[in-house]
Chain A
Amino acid sequence: DIQMTQSPSSLSASVGDRVTITCQASQDIGNYLNWYQQKPGKAPKVLIYDASNLETGVPSRFSGSGSGTHFSFTISSLQPEDIATYYCQQYDNLPLTFGGGTKVEIK
């Protein structure tokens, strides 16, 4: 199985801060990576697909980049409604696997 390692596991930042999360794959996955946002008590919601494409309706402050084994997810200006846990997910190989998540909190 492809292991997806996210860091940090949690972070605390101020409103307006730039926040970056990284995701490392255990092998080359090209750009076959999605990013999801999960708010407490809710199902995950896709924000970024194919590593860098913004899902329709998602605010432009969210972005993704990377390819191969190293990926990053950025919130350019953190908003209170962005409090959530963020997950990466690879779809280069079966079984599909997720990262361990990054919990984002407001300082």
Chain B
Amino acid sequence: QVQLQESGPGLVKPSETLSLTCTVSGDSISGYYWSWIRQTPGKGLEWTGYIYYSGSTYYNPSLKNRVTMSVDTSKNQFSLKLSSVTAADTAVYYCARGTGYCSPISCYGNFDYWGQGTLVAVSS
């Protein structure tokens, strides 16, 4: 059974960098695209972007060049870094596996496996 588990600090100070890691078990990280999706009461579900096992990425322009994703195939993990955070970045962050494939136009398929989610609060 495929399982995803987010890890990282639950509290980040304003202007600092949020860092999260998703560990995948039960299947190889290769052959799929992987995403971070965050959820806030105000903005609902927001897709932050994707990363392939090869390292290719796409980031949601709404995050204004603050986001970086990376992958470590040897550990079956992928990570999210979000810089210059504000209170608006307070959210539950989910990692998720995408079926299908990504092209320059879109990422096809759906998100079939998700982590349990981790709440990250931005506060001093």
Number of interface residues of B (CB under 8 A): 26
**CB-based contact A44/B105 at 8 Å:** no
Interface code B110-123, partner A: CB below 8 Å = 1, 0 otherwise? 11101111000000
Q: With contacts A32-B108, A43-B94, A49-B109 known, is A95 near B114, CB below 8 A?
A: no
Checking A43, A89, A100 against B117 with a beta-carbon cut-off of 8 angstroms, the contacting residue is A43
Question: Does B45 lie at the interface of the complex (its beta carbon under 8 Å from any beta carbon of A)?
Answer: yes
Interface code A74-107, partner B: CB below 8 Å = 1, 0 otherwise? 0000000000000101011111111111000000
Checking B44, B49, B106 against A100 with a beta-carbon cut-off of 8 angstroms, the contacting residue is B44
**CB-based contact A91/B108 at 8 Å:** yes
Question: Does B65 lie at the interface of the complex (its beta carbon under 8 Å from any beta carbon of A)?
Answer: no
A87, B45: Cα distance in complex, Å: 9
Q: Which residues of B lie under 8 Å from residue A52 when comparing CB positions?
A: none
Q: Which residues of B lie under 8 Å from residue A19 when comparing CB positions?
A: none
Closest CB of chain A to B28's CB: distance in Å? 21
**CB-based contact A95/B62 at 8 Å:** yes
A100, B43: Cα distance in complex, Å: 8
Q: Which residues of A lie under 8 Å from residue B96 when comparing CB positions?
A: 43
Q: With contacts A43-B94, A44-B45, A96-B47 known, is A91 near B114, CB below 8 A?
A: no
**CB-based contact B47/A97 at 8 Å:** yes
**CB-based contact A96/B107 at 8 Å:** yes
* A and B contact pairs by CB, cutoff 8 A, 9 listed: A34-B110, A43-B96, A43-B117, A89-B45, A91-B109, A93-B105, A94-B104, A94-B107, A101-B45
